[in-house]
Chain A
């Protein structure tokens, strides 16, 4: 229920709707809660509504930090 799914914006239909790609499955969703949605940005989608953007730089930073933990151990 509280699980939202990451999706990438393919194109904006109007100021409230966009077509997104859930790793192969395309769907039209509501993006009215997103501040200035743009094509190729990631969003987390829950019951047909984008709840937030997913920040690609922050995602990379998290992965980078985990990677450095692994390197420190080996």
Chain B
């Protein structure tokens, strides 16, 4: 056997020969008499399928269904409105990750357009940047719009811990952290719900990479057993994705429903226990949280514990989230539930483009519509006279 070397943690997992041989193996492994419906939970994996052209290399009877794992996409308009309201009416410096800046909210506003109205909104790379701003401007109040799944929660906790240690009382957090296993369970429960007119039947799940590096593969055990569904935790490179699809096909063929770990180089059974302990120190479950597309789910998101209430922007500024329906033309909700694909949306690529998005799935770098648009997975209709 020729020698395998590790040139880099990315390039080594992007090699064409490896992808080709895995896809050939998948083609041999599939049973032509059935279909395989796999959901990639993460928007990051949706982009891997599109960016590397993997979707076109798979046999036709493998259908990849895009899941809700895009934190910006699942934030409902009411939540974005809170951040905009804070920035416009409470004289704060609002810090946000870039992904959330252009999500359309109420009254034609987004964080980006609120900034052009004079609100002090800063695009930050890390919650530690918000911390630095709070130190730099002691006379100003700084709020960090803390969104994201379990990957992004530990960094928020580190920033809060640092703020407490530094005695900073001009920094607070608009906590909107959501939980992957709850959303995954909801998707699977809907598939089995006989009253659901659009059940999305799945044969397997491509599980999150970096979320799982924090929560570990054990976090999916209950779901896998309850719904008897194969789950393969998968890295974010194209070779990872192809290998995982092969592993899922093998599980289906052998009638297994196991949790397997393709991304062994960064994911363990227990996950990062230091990160989990830090999350437990500062956060507690919310009774309920509204998700775009999935509705209001019990115990599906986090808030700061009561003893940290003075760092909680919702309490500090007495914010009340009001539920707001999506734009009627936008199919984001159905796309996030896996019921529709971007090509099924009548405004995809016409009224809704990355430059002028109507829905969050077109805005975020992990949104399914953005993936299809960026990598031309759907022919753009010729008759549109919209954006260049």
> What residues make up the interface of A, taking CB atoms closer than 8 Å to B?
1-4, 6, 23, 30, 32-35, 42, 44, 46-49, 51-56, 58-71, 73-74
Q: How far is the CB of A33 from chain B (nearest CB, A)?
A: 5
Interface centre among B72, B147, B236 (most CB of A within 10 A): B236
User: What's the Cα separation between A67 and B209 when bound, in Å?
Assistant: 22
Number of B residues with CB within 8 Å of any CB on chain A: 59
**Which of A44, A49, A56, A71 lies in contact with B6, CB distance below 8 A?**
A56
Q: Are A44 and B266 in contact (CB under 8 A)?
A: yes
Q: How far is the CB of A13 from chain B (nearest CB, A)?
A: 14
A59-B265 contact, Cβ under 8 Å, with A4-B151, A47-B155: yes
Residues of A within 8 A of B9 (CB): 6, 42, 54, 59
The number of residue pairs between A and B whose CB atoms lie closer than 8 Å in the complex comes to 144
Binding site of A, secondary structure by majority: helix, strand, loop or mixed? mixed
User: What's the Cα separation between A28 and B344 when bound, in Å?
Assistant: 44
Give A1's nearest chain B residue, CB to CB. Answer: B71
Q: Are B10 and A23 in contact (CB under 8 A)?
A: yes
**Which of B18, B69, B128, B264 lies in contact with A48, CB distance below 8 A?**
B128
Q: Are A1 and B72 in contact (CB under 8 A)?
A: yes
Residues of B within 8 A of A63 (CB): 4, 6, 12-13, 18, 239
Q: Are A51 and B213 in contact (CB under 8 A)?
A: yes
B111 close to chain A: CB less than 8 A: no
Residues of B within 8 A of A65 (CB): 243
Residues of B within 8 A of A35 (CB): 274
Residues of B within 8 A of A49 (CB): 126, 154-155, 158
Q: Are A51 and B6 in contact (CB under 8 A)?
A: no
Residues of B within 8 A of A46 (CB): 151-152, 155, 210
User: What's the Cα separation between A55 and B267 when bound, in Å?
Assistant: 9
User: What's the Cα separation between A33 and B71 when bound, in Å?
Assistant: 22
Residues of B within 8 A of A64 (CB): 4
